[in-house]
Amino acid sequence: MGELVDGQQVSGRAVLGQTLKVLREKAGKSLGQLADETGYDKSYLSRLESGERLSKVTVMEDLDAYYGCDDLLVRHWQAARLDAFKDQYKEFMALETKARVMRVFTPGIPGLLQAEDFAREVLSGAQTTADGDEDVEEQVAARLGRQYLLRHKPAPDVRIIMDEFALRRPAARAKTWHDQLLHLEAAAMWPNVALQVLPFSAGAHHHMTGSLTLLWQRDGSAVAYKEGNGCSRLIEDPDEVLRQRLSYDRLRDLALSPPDSLAFIRDALEEHRS
């Protein structure tokens, strides 16, 4: 989150930019030298320092290695990325970052498992202006940054159920869809991820209009987060969270097993290749 300076809230992006500038100046480097030595464009690095742009997390990993400051920039980036989202979603994402157990249902490809080009297509929508394109790139960076939590140590235990619909509406570009299916195939084999497909044969169900995420923290506390029909809701009441958990369990029982779901994804990949 942001910090307080003279009683005013400073955005996480501004804090990250200030940190980047301090590290560069401490290293005795000009922006031109930094660009030459890291391979990143000088104007791009300048905009990161000014807080105008949010980079991908991999850029911060590279700069952490360049400056030899462990994961300082990545940690600042994790706070800065929250600036791209609305307040209630920020609260959810802060909880998601620390969750030890995650249970997700989504009608489409979940953001946690979207490949970069697919995420860009989904987020682009009707944006056609230069400013719109830049906003999309920030949203893509923030979305891909969420996936960083799957690499945490210890990694969270994650179960994701996605509707068969997600695999029946391909991306506009063949290569984008091919890469997305390959990414799902790989994710289905990650040791901390159980991926299940809810087939059309399961019939109508109670989460057809939106997604559901359940998060458990180390202390055992849990929340639920629902999105759909243009609105979202963070649920903290224990009784309501329990009801959402039971509804999730019913979907899990209707879904294909993880091995059968992997086979389903591979069949979709073969169909696409043919």
Both structure tokens of 155: 């990694």
Domain containing 194 equals: 86-273
Q: Can you give the pLDDT at residue 200?
A: 95
Pair (206, 114) in one structural domain: yes
Pair (114, 246) in one structural domain: yes
Count the domains in the chain. 2
Both structure tokens of 59: 């850029």
Pair (62, 181) in one structural domain: no
Pair (91, 183) in one structural domain: yes
| Dihedrals phi, psi of 66, to nearest 5 degrees | -60, -45
Which CATH number covers residue 70? 1.10.260.40
Q: Can you give the pLDDT at residue 94?
A: 82
Domain boundary among 24, 59, 82: 82
Pair (122, 200) in one structural domain: yes
Instruction: Report d(CA 261, CA 189) in Å as an integer.
Output: 11
Pair (180, 206) in one structural domain: yes
197: β partners: 162
Q: Tell whether pTM > 0.75.
A: no
Q: What is the mean pLDDT of each run of 10 residues along the chain (274 residues)?
A: 46 85 92 93 89 83 93 85 63 86 95 94 68 78 84 89 94 95 96 96 88 94 87 88 95 96 96 90
- The answer to whether the beta carbons of residues 229 and 209 sit under 8 Å apart is yes
| Dihedrals phi, psi of 41, to nearest 5 degrees | -65, 140
Q: Where are the beta strands (DSSP E) in the chain?
A: 3-5, 8-10, 101-106, 157-163, 193-198, 210-216, 222-228, 231-235
- The answer to whether the beta carbons of residues 89 and 232 sit under 8 Å apart is yes
Pair (113, 52) in one structural domain: no
Q: Can you give the pLDDT at residue 141?
A: 85
Instruction: Report d(CA 194, CA 211) in Å as an integer.
Output: 17
CA 29-34-37 angle, to 5 degrees, is: 120
Pair (23, 115) in one structural domain: no
Pair (78, 132) in one structural domain: no
Residue-by-residue DSSP string for 43-78: HHHHHHHTTS----HHHHHHHHHHHT-TTHHHHHHH
Neighbours of 134 (CB within 10 A): 14
Pair (96, 75) in one structural domain: no
Pair (59, 91) in one structural domain: no
Place of tokens 């891909």: 144
